[in-house]
Amino acid sequence: MAKKSQVARDAKRRAMYDKHSARRAELKAKLKASWDAPMTRSEIQAELQSMPRNSSPTRLKNRCAVTGRSRGYMRKFGLSRISFREMASEGLLPGIRKASW
C-alpha cells in the first residue's frame, strides 16, 4: 500500500488537471493558430505559464486503483501487477484466466 500522502497528492493533481484542462487546451490551440504574431504568442505563453503547475498532464502519475502502487502499473486495467494477479486468480476480472498449454 502506498503512502496515503502520495495517493492524496495525486488525487489533488488529478482534480486540478480536470478543472483546468479545458482552458489549457484552449490556450494550446490559440498558440498553434498564432504562429506568425510574436506578441500574441508571448502573451499566450505567459498565460499558460501562469496556470498552476499541478494542472499540467505531465505531473500526473499512474497509480493502482486498489493499492495506490505506482510501479508495475497495467494501463488497460488500472491496477498494479500484484493486484492484477490476485484479482485474476480469484476470478474477479472477467475474461482473464491463467494461460496453460
**Pairing state between β 73-74 and 79-80:** antiparallel
Residue 60: its pLDDT value, please?
Answer: 92
Residue 99: its pLDDT value, please?
Answer: 87
Helix residue spans in the chain (DSSP H): 4-33, 38-50, 81-90
Give the count of beta carbons closer than 10 Å to the beta carbon of residue 77: 16
**pLDDT tops 90 at residue 39:** no
Give the position of cell 494542472. Answer: 55
Helix (H) or strand (E) holding 74, with range, is strand 73-74
Mean per-residue pLDDT for 61-75? Answer: 93
**Considering the chain, what is the average pLDDT of its residues?**
91
Residue 79: its pLDDT value, please?
Answer: 95
